[in-house]
Structure 1
Amino acid sequence: MESGCSSLSLKTKQVMENLKLVLDHAGTSFAQVVMARIFVTDFRYYQTVNDLYASYFNNNRLPCRTTVGVIGLAGNGDVEIDLIVYCGD
Structure 2
Amino acid sequence: MKKVISTTKAPAPLGPYNQAILNENTLYISGQIAIDVETGSLVLEDITSETHCVMKNLKAILEAAEMTFEHVLKSSIFISDMNNFKTINEVYGSYFDETTAPARETVEVTRLPKDVNVEISMIASK
Aligned to 2:121: 82
CA–CA distance in 1 between the matches of 2:76 and 2:111?
15
Match in the other structure for 1:45: 84
Post-superposition Cα deviations, 1:56-89, rounded to whole Å, max 9, x if no partner, equal: 01121110000001110012111000000113xx
How high is the TM-score relative to the length of structure 2? 0.63
Structure showing greater relative contact order (alpha-carbon pairs closer than 8 Å, 6 or more residues apart): 1
- Structure 2 distance, partners of 1:76, 1:62, is 28
Between the aligned residues of both structures, percent identity stands at 35
Q: Which residue of 2 aligns with 1:33?
A: 72
After TM superposition, what 4+ stretches of structure 1 lie above 3 angstroms from structure 2? none
With normalisation by structure 1, the TM-score equals 0.87
Alignment gaps of 5+ in structure 2: 1-44
Higher helix share: 1
Structure 1, unmatched stretches of 5+, are 1-5
Shift of 1:17: 0.6
